[in-house]
Structure 1
């Protein structure tokens, strides 16, 4: 898990996958992780997906400008359009500022 500060911006993406083109989706998702990680202001990402296709991905950014730059990245925009076309039946996106963050690990 990424270390977060109280000024970190979280972009929370909740999406329902379709059953279309699973291989294409996997390739695109891997590419998005790689590209995001190279963006200025990227802090990290957490992602889960259930057997029913519902997934939650949270990306973390140092500030709102970095999060917006990721939103506007041309490769991200292209993949977003493909997602709307074939990989998602619906999604919601929420942007929030972290006000508190804790970590715990079993000793």
Structure 2
């Protein structure tokens, strides 16, 4: 997760798709993340190369719940991301090392709007 300014992703022109990844991390061994942060940064970088990728945003609660939402123009873009070798390797490590549990929700967005004070 990068050090980008904190702001919501703006609305996109529908239809588009979201991939919502919610997770609960394992306890890192001896305070080390075992490559988790570096892999998360790499995934944030690589997903931007997928044709049809729109944006990504992530947050983690103090209790440890992580939420990452990826925004994609179409289902084919999601399929391309899912098939990337580096992403599949990160998924495997996630199941083996980094997550107690996770869930993935994929949805087609048919309505999108926002608000910004002073805009």
Same fold, judged at TM 0.5 (above): yes
Shift, 1:43, TM fit: 0.2
Q: TM-score, length-normalised on structure 2? A: 0.85
Change (3 A) 1:23 1:80: same
Distance 1:106 1:23 in 2: 41
Whether contact under 8 Å (1:5, 1:98) holds in the other structure is: no
Gaps of 5+ in 1: none
Aligned-residue CA RMSD (Å): 1.2
CA distance, structure 1, for counterparts of residue 11 and residue 43 of structure 2: 21
Pairs aligned (count): 107
Partner Cα separation in structure 2 for residue 49 and residue 90 of structure 1: 14
**Which residue does 2:93 correspond to in 1?**
82
Structure 1 residue 17 corresponds to structure 2 residue 25: yes
Which of 43, 47, 55 is the aligned partner of 2:58? 47
On the 8 A contact 2:18/2:69 being kept in 1, the answer is yes
Segments of 4+ in structure 1 off by > 4 A?
A: none
* Contact 1:47 1:56 (C-alpha < 8 Å) held by counterparts: yes
Q: Deviations over 1:10-41 (max 9, x none)?
A: 00101111122426111110000000011111
Which residue pairs with 1:93 in the alignment? 104
Deviates more, 1:12-21 or 1:61-70: 12-21
Structure 2: runs of 5+ lacking an equivalent = 1-8
